[in-house]
Structure 1
Amino acid sequence: MSAERIVLVGGLWLDSSVWTEVVAELDKRGREAVPVHLPADRDTALADQLAAVLAAVEEAPGRVVLAGHSAACGLAWLAADARPDRIAKVALIGGWPAKEGGAYADFFPIADGFMAFPGWAPFEGADAADLDERQRQAFAAAAVPVPEAVARGTVRYASRRRYDIPVTLICPEYTPAQARAWLDAGELPELPEVKHLDMLDLDSGHWPMLTRPAELASLLASL
C-alpha cells in the first residue's frame, strides 16, 4: 500500500468540510488525508485557488496523491503541471481537466461577480439520483458561490512532465466504458497524452463523498 498523503480538492460550491467522512474512512484504512480550503472571496482568481492547492502539496512531508473532484479535476491537473516532482499520482473524480486556453468552469450564469449554485434542475438524473431530500437541502444551504475570476479563469499549462504522472479516473455517475468511449472520441482534453491512465468504477452519483464516502475512500486508499 502507498504511504503518500492524500490531498483532496472539492469541486464547484463545495467547502473542505464535504470531505469529513472520506477523511475519517481513509484514517481507518491507515491513510492520511488533507482537504484543501479554497478561497472564494469576490476578488479570488483561479491562480489563488491553485495557490491553495499547491500550498497543501508543498506542506506534505513527501510526494502526495492529489485527488480533484468535478471541476476541481482541473485544479488538480494544474497543480500537477506546476509541481510534477511532488505528486505521485492524480485521481480525477467525476471530471477531467479543461484544455489549454479554455475556461476553468464557466458553466452557469454569473451574477454580481459570482456563479451561484443553480439549483438541482441541471443535475436531475444520474448526477443527483442518490442524494435524498435532506442531503439536497444541506448541499444547497452550504453551497459556496464561485467567484467569476475562478469560473472564467483561463487554463494555462507549462510543463509536459504532467503527462508522466499516473492518473486514475474515478467514474461515479458514468462508467469506465463510457469514459473510454469519450476518450477515444477526443472529448476528454489532456487525458489522451497521459502515459499511465487507469479507470475505476464507483456506483454513485456525482457527489460520492456525500453518498458513498466509504467506497470512495476505499478506491483512494488503493492508489
Structure 2
Amino acid sequence: MTTTASSPTIILIAGHWLGAWAWDEVLEYLSTEHSRTIAMTLPGLDADDPERAEKTLDDQAAAVLKVMAELGVSEDQPATLVAHSGANAPVSLVLDQHPELVHRVVWVDSGPAAAGSAFAPDMPEELAELPLPSLDALAQQASLEGLSAEVLERFRARAVPEPGPVLRQPVKLTNDARHRVRTTLVCCSIPSAQVLELARAGHPMFAEVAKIERLDVVDLPTGHWPMWSRPRDLAQSIQSAASRT
C-alpha cells in the first residue's frame, strides 16, 4: 500500500495574500487518521521575510517541491496538492515539472494556469508588491459570500502584500503530461456547469480545464474563500478527492 490509497499526503496552498494560517479551520476538520496533511506558506507571503517582495513564481514552485521532498513524496508515493485561487500558477509549474509526483490536484475555486499567462502582466515594474485591496474593491473581483465581519477583519489584519514578480511573471509550461494528472475542481463562486461550459467554449480563464483527461467536479456553493465560509465541507471534499484512485 502506498500513500496514494492508504495514507495520502495532502499539501494545502492558499492563494494571494495568504499563508498557511488560512487553512487553520479546514485542518481542524481534516482527518489525520488516514492522511498526512500540512499547510504551507509560499515564498513572498511570509511577513517576516525581508526579501519577500523579490520572490518569483519559480521560487514558489521550488518551495512546493522542497516540501514534497521533505515529506518523502515520490513517484511511488505521490501527493495530493490543494491549490486555492492564485496558488494555481506555482502549482501549475509543479505539475508541469514533476507530474509523476502528484496523485491528484484539487483546485479550490481555481483551475490550471494557461501557458504564457500572468496574473497582472501590465503591473508596472516600479510596483514592488500588491497589498490586499479594500473590501469594496475585492468584492468587485471575487465573491465574499459567507464571510462574516470578523473573518474579513482577520483577512485584512493578516494579509501579506503579493510580490510584484509573482504577479508579472508568465507561467512557462511545456509538458503535456500535466493534463493527465487526476484533477478535482471544487467550484464555489462559479457553478461547475458554467465552468465546464466556459472551458468547452475556449474561455481563456478556463481553457486548460478542457484539456484535463481525468476530471472530477464538486460544487460547493459559497464565496471565493471556502476555507472560511464552509471549512467542514471543504475538508470533506479534499479528503474524498485525496482518497480517490
Q: TM-score range by the shorter chain?
A: over 0.9
Retained in 1: the 8 A contact 2:121–2:170? no
Task: Supply the distance in 2 between the matched residues of 1:73 and 1:5 (Cα, whole angstroms).
Answer: 19
1:9-46 C-alpha deviation (Å, 9 max, x unpaired): 10000011111121221135633211122111121111
Partner in structure 2 of residue 122 of structure 1: 137
1:175-199 C-alpha deviation (Å, 9 max, x unpaired): 1111111111112132211111111
SS of 2:28's equivalent in the other structure is: helix
Task: Supply the distance in 2 between the matched residues of 1:13 and 1:22 (Cα, whole angstroms).
Answer: 18
Partner in structure 2 of residue 218 of structure 1: 236
Retained in 2: the 8 A contact 1:74–1:96? no
SS of 1:124's equivalent in the other structure is: helix
Task: Supply the distance in 2 between the matched residues of 1:176 and 1:193 (Cα, whole angstroms).
Answer: 16
User: What pairs with 1:15-164 in structure 2 (closer than 5 Å)?
Assistant: 15-27=19-31, 30-40=34-44, 41-61=52-72, 62-103=77-118, 105-106=119-120, 112-124=127-139, 127-164=143-180
Pick which of 49-58 and 64-73 moved more: 49-58
SS of 2:207's equivalent in the other structure is: coil
Partner in structure 2 of residue 14 of structure 1: 18
Identity among equivalent positions (%) equals 30
Retained in 2: the 8 A contact 1:164–1:196? yes
1:86-116 C-alpha deviation (Å, 9 max, x unpaired): 100011111123321111x218966740011
TM-score of the pair, normalised by structure 1? 0.92
Pick which of 110-119 and 13-22 moved more: 110-119
Task: Supply the distance in 2 between the matched residues of 1:77 and 1:158 (Cα, whole angstroms).
Answer: 11
How many residues of Structure 1 are paired with residues of Structure 2 in the alignment?
222
Cα 1:107/1:123, change in 2 over 3 Å: farther
SS of 2:237's equivalent in the other structure is: helix
Provide structure 2 residue ranges, at least 5 long, that are not aligned to the other structure.
45-51
Retained in 1: the 8 A contact 2:18–2:41? no
TM-score of the pair, normalised by structure 2? 0.84
Name the amino acid aligned to 1:48. Answer: D
1:135-173 C-alpha deviation (Å, 9 max, x unpaired): 111101111101100011110013111111111110011
Retained in 2: the 8 A contact 1:109–1:115? no
- Tell me the CA shift for residue 123 of structure 1: 3.7
Task: Supply the distance in 2 between the matched residues of 1:23 and 1:83 (Cα, whole angstroms).
Answer: 26
Retained in 2: the 8 A contact 1:102–1:154? yes
Cα 1:218/1:108, change in 2 over 3 Å: farther
SS of 1:89's equivalent in the other structure is: strand
SS of 1:33's equivalent in the other structure is: strand
